[in-house]
A = this chain, B = another copy of it.
Amino acid sequence: MADLMDKLVSLCKRRGFVYPSSEIYGGINACWDYGPLGTLLKNNVKAAWWRAMTQLRDDIEPLDAAILMHPKVWEASGHVEHFTDPLVDCRQCKARFRADELPGDPTDPQTPCPRCGNRGTLTPPRQFNLMFKTFMGPVEDEASVIYLRPETAQGIYVNFENVRTTARKKIPFGIAQIGKAFRNEITPGNFIFRTREFEQMEMQYFVKPGEDEKWFEYWKEQRFQWYLDIGIRREKLRFHEHGPDELAHYAKAAFDIQYEFPFGWKELEGIHNRTDYDLSRHQQYSGKKLEYFDDATREHYIPYIIETSAGCDRTMLTCLVDAYREDEVEGEKRVLLSLHPRLAPIKVAVFPLVKRDNMPEIARKIASDLRRHFTVFYDESGAIGRRYRRQDEAGTPYCVTVDSQTLEDETVTIRWRDTLEQERCKISDLARRIQQLLDSA
């Protein structure tokens, strides 16, 4: 199983899904750059989320709030006070650890330093805030400290009134956002699973108190279904309910959607009943009324919030892990990414069977026509079998080949990545046929 991660990291590097960031300078710990295929895949994940969460519905509005926010936001949210990890230093070797990851109580002199092995060298735990801090304006003092947002959610809460009034929404309604967030994690890892810079896909749904449990159940189901819709295997997904010791103090209920990665069952997305905590805090700290007035019942109340918080990078990792397959074709080992066609970075590859008889010219014309509709890759170099394998590894669902029959009847073959089946199709009907295949996938 762990072997799968090594293979995947290697495939991602080799094929241009994911590179270590600033690699020519030796990399920068737990930061990653998305290469050509990775950028396309990630954009498709985001597009699938936007489509499901906003375009197909009439009750959720999109938002794109800035990364840099007023520092008071993080006082109101509780991040300045509570978004901390307890850290312990080793006085001997100068290494630093999260207190909860030590083999014992750091204040017990028998607890050894996990790095140098000395005993009695650990300091008592000290709280360390996980927000990246910077300074706005030319003066670096306390008054100019701002933070890189550690979550996108607060951008939604502070815009609740703006969105409600300008988009004329009535409760229940939601606000959805995709954007970068930053956490100065002490122990990031597992490739793109936990990184210091990451992208979130969050939706906050504002409901009437008392209807929160109904909506919580609704969103649990909807979000679980979304992972099935983008092709993730059901048996690799499960819910994990937060017990009393895991639940945030303001939360009424919380479920994680987990995926079984090679490194264990891990959180993909959290669905949280956050009660009226967030809007109450922002009302208190900003002095601005964030109550809702219900026209029909003549009631005033602070809405409850049901949050669905997903990670874009870890959804992408899930898609890659879940799609990775090895099989055998014509006696040779084949690696393929069986990505959902809607997420596949390249939809169609176009090949001339051989580099003569006008086949490259015809194939290039087909590629150029298809580009108006899909992402297309044209390839004429090497044996046809090798070109198919390269596309299998890139997750390309359909390969179109121009062969000698094309010269006679203006048809080409369409070959499926997963089944290796082929059908012949008129060139003039190709765009329509591929669109049909994508729509029914």
Q: A residues bordering B, Cβ < 8 Å?
A: 13-16, 19, 21-29, 31-36, 38-40, 42-43, 50, 54-58, 61-70, 72-73, 87, 96, 128, 132-139, 146, 148, 155, 158-159, 161-163, 166-167, 180, 182, 184, 186, 196-197, 282, 285-286, 288, 290, 367, 371-372, 374-376, 378
Count of this chain's copies in the oligomeric assembly? 2
Q: Are A64 and B14 interface neighbours, CB within 8 A?
A: no
Closest 3 CB pairs of A and B: A16-B166, A22-B70, A34-B64
Roughly how many angstroms separate A22 CA and B136 CA in the complex, as a whole number?
15
Roughly how many angstroms separate A13 CA and B197 CA in the complex, as a whole number?
30
Q: What are 6 pairs between A and B in contact, CB < 8 Å? A: A16-B167, A21-B66, A24-B286, A29-B137, A57-B371, A132-B134
Contacts of A16 in B (CB 8 A): 61, 162-163, 166-167
Q: Are A135 and B138 interface neighbours, CB within 8 A?
A: no
Q: Are B163 and A35 interface neighbours, CB within 8 A?
A: yes
Contacts of A42 in B (CB 8 A): 64
Given contacts A134-B133, A158-B23, A70 and B371 within 8 Å (CB-CB): no
Q: Are A136 and B21 interface neighbours, CB within 8 A?
A: no
Contacts of A39 in B (CB 8 A): 62-64
Roughly how many angstroms separate A34 CA and B137 CA in the complex, as a whole number?
23
Residue of B nearest to A54 (CB): B375
A333 to nearest B CB, angstroms? 21
Roughly how many angstroms separate A50 CA and B64 CA in the complex, as a whole number?
19
